[in-house]
Amino acid sequence: MSDVFIIGIGIHPFGRTPQLSGMEQGVVAAQAALADAGLSWKDVQYAFGGSSSAGNADTMVNRLGLTGLPFINVANGCATGGSALLGAYMALRSGQADVAMAVGFDKHEHGAFVVNPSEWGLGNWYGEAGFALTTQFFALKLKRYMHEFGITNDALVRVAVKAYANGALNPNAWRRRALDYEEIAQSPMLNDPLRKYMFCSPAEGAVALVLANAAAVRRFGGKPIVLRAASIRTRNFGSFEVFSPSLALQRAASPTVMASRAAYEMAAVGPEDVDVVQLQDTESGAEIMHMAENGFCRDGDQEALLRDGATAIGGHLPINTDGGCLANGEPIGASGLRQVHELCLQLRGAAGARQVPKPPRIGYSHVYGAPGVSAVTILGALS
Amino acid sequence: MVSFPRQASCPRCCGSAIALRRLGNTGHLWTWTTQEFAPKSPPYAVTRKPGDFVAFQLGYIELPGEVIVESRIVAGDSALRIGMPMELIFAPLFTDSNGDEVVCFAFKPMGQRV
C-alpha cells in the first residue's frame, strides 16, 4: 500500500512578526506540526523545505535537532511549498522514508516584490522599461479575460469582500478586518482594473506538514488525511505567463490547467467531487480565472457564482475559506502549504468559525507563480 | 514561428535554425493595463522623488501573422480598447548619466497625436 497521509500540521501566524526571522517562524511551525502528529523530530526521516527570501530551510536543524536526516532545500518560486510537499510525497511513495516533513516559510520586505530580470532569463531592459512587475501581468491577463468572457468589476470586488470576511474568522490571518464593498471598490487603482484591496501583499509566515506512509500511520495513529494527488507543471508553448516580452499568436493550456488535469487523474476524482477549494488569489481576478482553469466552472460563469455567494464558506463551492492570499498575505515559501493546512483543518472538521457546514470529504489546493509554474494537491478524508 | 526578443533557439521546437526579421510597425491592442504606483528602482530606470511618479500605460500588441509583443503604450487622450489599431513609436524613457536620452519602443493608437 503506497498511500501517503498528512498526520500533523503546524502554522506560524501570517502577517508581520518583527521579533522572529522567517526561519524562526519555520521552526515554530515545524514544532507545532510535530506536536500535532504526536511525534518528535527524531522520528522524521526525510525533510523538504524552502523560502524565497528568508534563508536555507535545512539550517533549521540547528534548532530542531542534529539527527543527520536528509534535508533538501527547495527554491521554486510560488510553488516552493508545493514542491516541498511533492518531494515529501515522492520520498514516501518510493519507500525512502516512512515519515517526512514539508516546511515553507518566508519574510518579505514591504511593497511589491523587487525583480532582478536576469534571474528570470530576461535582459535588464525589461526592468529598466518598467515591465518587471508581477502585478502588471495579472492585470493584463485579467483585462483580456474580462473582455472575452464578460466578467465585470463587480466580480472583482466580490472576491475581495469574501476574502476579508473569511480572514476575519481566521486567527492565523494577517488581515482580520472585514472590508465592505465600497471600501474595496473605491480603493486606489494600482493596475487597471485592479485596485489596492484586490491585491495580496508580500508578508511573513510559516507552515509545516508531517507526512507518513500507511505503516507509520498504524504505528503512530494521529489524525490522518489522505494526500491523493500532488502535481506540478510549467509552461507550454503559447500559454500567457508572467514576465513574457512576447506571446505566440495561439494560446495554449496554462500550467494550472495541466497541473489540475494531472492531479484529478492521480486522485481519480473530478472537480464535481471537490467539497472545499483553495486557489491562488494573488489578486481577485486570479481567483476568478483559476476557478475555470481548475475545472470548477466554465469561463464566464464566475460572475453569477460570485453574485449568488456560491464560493462563500456556506456556498456549494467554498473557495479560500481561510481568506486566501488576500487576507493572509503572500510569504512565497509558505503560501502553498497554508492552503494544505487549511484543507486539513476543514477535512478534520476543525476549522472553527470558518468550518464548511457540510462535512467535506475532498479538498483541492492550487498555487501559481512566476515564471509560469503551478502546483495542485488533492486531499481526502479517511473513508 | 516568430518570437521577441531574439533568442538562440526556438521556444517551440528547440531548433537552432534562427533568422532575424524586422517586425511590422502596426497591429492591434490585445490587452492593456496601467502602472499607477512607482516601480521599485532598480530595476526601473526612471528615478524620481516620491510623489513625482508619472503613471504609464502598457499592454500587448498583436502584430498580425507574427507575434504579440509587450510594449509601453502612449495613448494621449485616447481611451484604450482591446482590438483598436496601434502603431509603433519611440517614447523617451529617461536621461542617462551621460546626459543622453534613452528611448523605449512603444505603441500609440493609430493616428493619435502624442
Q: Which residues does chain B have within 8 Å of residue A153's beta carbon, measured at their own beta carbons?
A: none
Query: Which among A153, A245, A207 is positioned nearest to A367, based on CA atoms?
Result: A207
Residues A36, A37, A42: CA angle, nearest 5 degrees: 115
Please state, in angstroms and rounded to a whole number, the distance separating the CA atoms of residues A345 and A342: 5
* Conformation bin of residue A202: beta by default, left when phi > 0, alpha when psi is -120 to 50: beta
Single-letter amino acid, residue A62: N
Q: Do the chains contact at B31 and A124, CB–CB below 8 Å?
A: no
- Reading the block at residue A355, the C-alpha cell is 468550518
- Cβ separation A246–B4 shorter than 8 A: yes
Of A115, A129, A194, the CB nearest to B72: A129
Instruction: Give per-residue pLDDT as tens, B31-79.
Output: 999 999 999 888 998 877 777 888 999 999 999 999 999 999 999 888 9
B11–A237 CB contact, under 8 Å: yes
Residue to substitute from A115, A131, A189, A198, interface B, most B β-carbons within 10 A: A131
Of A112, A140, A237, the CB nearest to B60: A140
Summarize pLDDT for A276-298 with one digit per residue, the tens: 999 999 999 999 999 999 999 99
**DSSP type of residue A301:** T
Whether B62 sits inside 8 A of A249 (CB atoms) is yes
Question: How far apart (Å, rounded) are the C-alpha atoms in residues A106 and A104?
Answer: 7
Residue B10 touches partner A, C-beta closer than 8 Å: no
Q: What are phi and psi of A154, to 5 degrees?
A: -55, -40
Separation CA A211–CA A377 (nearest Å) = 14
- The shortest CB-CB distance from B44 to any of A116, A127, A193 is to A127
**What are the residue boundaries of the structural domains of chain B, listed by start?**
26-109
Dihedral through CA A219, CA A365, CA A21, CA A38, nearest 10? -10
Q: Which residues of chain A lie closer than 8 angstroms to B30, CB-CB? A: 144, 247
Distance of CA A185 to the CA centre of its chain: 25
DSSP notation for A329-369? -B-HHHHHHHHHHHHHHHHHT--GGG--SS--SEEEEEEEE
Q: What backbone phi and psi angles, to 5 degrees, belong to A367?
A: -120, 155
Helix, strand, coil percent values for chain A (each to nearest 5) = 40, 20, 40
pLDDT for the residue numbered A1: 45
- Name which of A275, A295, A285, A353 is nearest A325 in CA terms: A285
**Alpha-carbon distance A284 to nearest alpha carbon in chain B (angstroms):** 15
State how far the Cα of A221 lies from the Cα of A53, in Å rounded to an integer: 35
Give the minimum alpha-carbon distance from A125 to chain B in angstroms, rounded to a whole number. 9
CA A104 – CA A115 distance, rounded (Å)? 21
Contact between residue A242 and residue A235 where contact means Cβ atoms under 8 Å apart: no
Supply the pTM of this predicted model. Answer: 0.96
Q: Sorting pLDDT into bands at 50, 70 and 90, what band is B88?
A: very high
Q: For residue A94, count CB atoms less than 10 angstroms from its CB and return exposed for 0-12, middle for 13-18, buried for 19 or more.
A: exposed
* H helix intervals, chain A: 22-37, 61-64, 80-93, 124-128, 134-149, 153-167, 181-185, 214-220, 255-267, 284-293, 302-307, 324-328, 332-348
Residue of A181, A142, A151, A152 whose CA lies nearest to A164: A181
- Phi, psi angle pair for B67, to nearest 5°: -165, 160
Give burial (CB, 10 Å; 0-12/13-18/19+) of A262. middle
Tell the residue number behind the cell numbers 512603444, with chain if given: B106
Whether B43 sits inside 8 A of A190 (CB atoms) is: no
pLDDT of residue A126: 95
Q: Taking CA atoms, what residue in B is nearest to A246? A: B69
Q: Are A378 and A347 within 8 A, CB to CB?
A: no
What's the gap in Å between the CA of B52 and the closest CA on chain A?
16
* Residues A237 and B12 sit within 8 Å (Cβ to Cβ): yes
pLDDT, position B96: 86
Cβ–Cβ gap A130/B58 under 8 Å? yes
A191–B4 CB contact, under 8 Å: no
Residues 6+ apart with CB under 8 A from A99: A39, A43, A44, A45, A46, A210, A211, A212, A213, A216, A220
| Cell of residue B28, nine digits | 492591434
Adjacent-strand bridge partners of B72: B58, B106
Quick check: helix, strand or coil at residue B52? coil
ipTM given for this complex = 0.95
Report, in this order, helix, strand and coil percent for chain B, each rounded to 5.
0, 40, 60
- Cβ distance B40 to A248 less than 8 Å, yes or no, reads no
Q: Is B53 on the interface with A (CB under 8 A)?
A: no
- Which residue in B4, B12, B66 is closest to A245 by CB distance? B4
Which residues of chain A are under the pLDDT cut of 70? 1
Question: Nearest CB to A190: which of B36, B46, B66?
Answer: B36
Q: What is the DSSP string of A145-157?
A: HHHHHT--HHHHH
pLDDT category at B97 given cuts 50, 70, 90 is confident
How many residue contacts between A and B have a Cβ separation below 8 Å?
Answer: 109
Which residue, among A232, A229, A237, A202, has the nearest Cα to A373 in the 3D structure?
Answer: A232
Query: Looking at beta carbons, which residues of chain B come within 8 Å of A156?
Result: none
Q: Which residues of chain A have a Cβ shorter than 8 Å from any chain B Cβ?
A: 111-112, 114-117, 123-133, 136, 139-141, 143-144, 147, 188-194, 237-238, 244-249
- At B47 the pLDDT is 76
Q: Please enumerate in sequence order all residues whose Cβ is within 8 A of that of A88, keeping only pairs 6 or more positions apart, or say none.
A: A46, A47, A48, A100, A101, A102, A209, A211
